Amino acid sequence: MSHRMEETSIEGLIEQQRRLACSENPFERVFGSLLVAALLKQTLASLPNETVGQLMFDVVWNVMDVFSPEMAICQAATERLLNSSSAVKTTKENLSQ
């Protein structure tokens, strides 16, 4: 199982962790979620800043309340990570054009 998880894509790990977090089995919910979170964290650590910033924009922003302080923090972090790449434009840049 561990070997299969290591070969899973970022999107696959995200979906797997979401599924495990909602499991009715307490063992899966706690230990499964923690295992997948560790694999996700390890995978994210190996990615360039631009990719992590794009994941924050694509994945995290979709589930946040636009008026929350977490959104402001996420937006600042995403813009900082994405600024190292000119290939991706933030929402702020797109709106100002």
Domain assignment of residue 42, yes or no: yes
Q: At what angle do helices 10-21 and 33-45 cross, to 10 degrees?
A: 160
Domain assignment of residue 7, yes or no: yes
- pLDDT tens for each residue of the chain, 97 residues long: 444 444 579 999 999 999 999 999 999 999 999 999 999 999 999 999 989 989 988 888 888 888 988 888 888 988 888 887 655 555 545 445 4
Judgement on whether residues 65 and 75 belong to the same structural domain of the protein: yes
Domain containing 10 equals 1-46
DSSP letter (8 states) at residue 89: -
Number of H helices, E strands in the chain: 7, 0
Cα gap 56→24, rounded to integer Å? 28
Judgement on whether residues 2 and 39 belong to the same structural domain of the protein: yes
Judgement on whether residues 39 and 52 belong to the same structural domain of the protein: no
pTM above 0.75, yes or no: no
Judgement on whether residues 40 and 70 belong to the same structural domain of the protein: no
Cα gap 52→50, rounded to integer Å? 6
